[in-house]
């Protein structure tokens, strides 16, 4: 990610009509979101501002009541607030309902609608590489927030089938079982939850999958020597391999897949496009994503 430039730091003047948006979570001081959104507001001449608020789960209900009362336009949520917010909004989008978590809230005159744009962002990033989920078979590793968001959005985008490989001991297991059932009941996609330890089943799933997604933190810096898939024979040239991790830019999984002839992508632009989806929900305008890419994102070749 590139450093903020002096030009990018200039802000529109705050007026009596300025609409407030922001990010709730803990911690939030490291977030790139304020730069992305405030630069986009400035470029489009929109009278909005985006701020960060350090709010944990305990204080989230009070924060949401206050934000509703002062009629903010909307807000994002990061950990640990994404699950708790579900009980505090009036309505859930299809993706948020499938996942059971929200990262974006839209306030329409006091009516709060919870959305989840993480999966939208990931699937949109894959479109930059020419991959569309519709009609495809997908294997997803993990059951946490990123994996669940990607799974649900892939199903909503028309994936034919999704095999989710996760550990039964995961603290997300019960939620993932419920999500899998909702996907099978509410979409045309067939989803199946399988044990990550079942290497025979994983190998069989990969053999005819179009996309493999690592939605776990395995391979993230500083533990970059690890991959949930180590055998080069598990990959085939028709398999697109994507990792939700973006630091390092190429995880061990992606390195092995690239050596096997697979197309690969990391999760960097998921951050950009999930923010762009929230931006459009709040403003009705498209975030100038090419400009934001140039200023703040660096994608490894």
What per-residue confidence (pLDDT) applies to 298? 64
The reported pLDDT for the residue numbered 3 is 41
Q: Catalytic site residue 293?
A: no
Mean pLDDT, the chain cut into blocks of 10 residues (301 residues total): 46 88 95 95 97 96 97 95 95 94 96 97 95 97 94 97 95 93 97 97 98 96 95 96 95 97 95 97 97 79 39
| pTM, two decimal places | 0.90
Residue 280 and residue 286 in contact, taking contact as beta carbons nearer than 8 Å: yes
Of 103, 138, 292, 298, the C-alpha closest to 215 is 138
Q: Does residue 39 sit in helix, strand or coil?
A: helix
Going along the chain from its start, the domains and CATH numbers come out as 6-116+271-296 (3.40.50.10860), 120-266 (3.40.50.720)
First to last CA, the chain: 14
Which one of 82, 137, 252, 293 is the catalytic residue?
A: 82
């Amino acid at each position: 990610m590139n450093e903020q430039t002096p030009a990018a730091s200039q802000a529109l003047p705050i007026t009596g009509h300025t609409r407030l948006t922001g990010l709730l979570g803990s911690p939030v001081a490291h977030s790139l979101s304020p730069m992305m959104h405030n630069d986009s507001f400035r470029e489009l001449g929109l009278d909005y501002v985006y701020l960060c608020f350090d709010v944990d789960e305990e204080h989230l209900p009070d924060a949401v009541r206050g934000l509703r009362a002062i009629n903010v336009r909307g807000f994002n949520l990061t950990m640990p607030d994404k699950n708790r917010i579900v009980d505090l909004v009036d309505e859930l989008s299809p993706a948020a309902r499938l996942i059971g978590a929200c990262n974006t809230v839209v306030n329409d005159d006091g009516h709060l609608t919870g959305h989840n744009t993480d999966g939208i962002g990931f699937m949109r990033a894959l479109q930059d590489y020419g991959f569309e989920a519709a009609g495809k078979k997908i294997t997803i590793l993990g059951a946490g927030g990123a994996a669940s968001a990607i799974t649900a959005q892939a199903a909503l985008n028309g994936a034919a089938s999704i095999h989710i490989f996760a550990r039964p001991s995961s603290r997300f297991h019960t939620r993932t079982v419920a999500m899998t059932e909702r996907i099978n009941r509410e979409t045309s996609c067939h989803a199946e939850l399988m044990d990550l330890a079942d290497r025979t089943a994983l190998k069989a799933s990969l053999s005819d999958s179009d996309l493999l997604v690592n939605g776990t933190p395995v391979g993230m810096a500083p533990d970059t020597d690890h991959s949930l898939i180590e055998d080069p024979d598990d990959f085939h040239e028709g398999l697109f391999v994507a990792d939700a991790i973006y630091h390092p830019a190429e995880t061990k999984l992606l390195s092995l897949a690239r050596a096997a002839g697979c197309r690969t992508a990391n999760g960097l632009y998921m951050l950009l496009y999930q923010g762009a989806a929230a931006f459009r929900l709040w403003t009705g305008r498209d975030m100038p994503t090419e400009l934001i890419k140039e200023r703040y994102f660096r994608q490894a070749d």
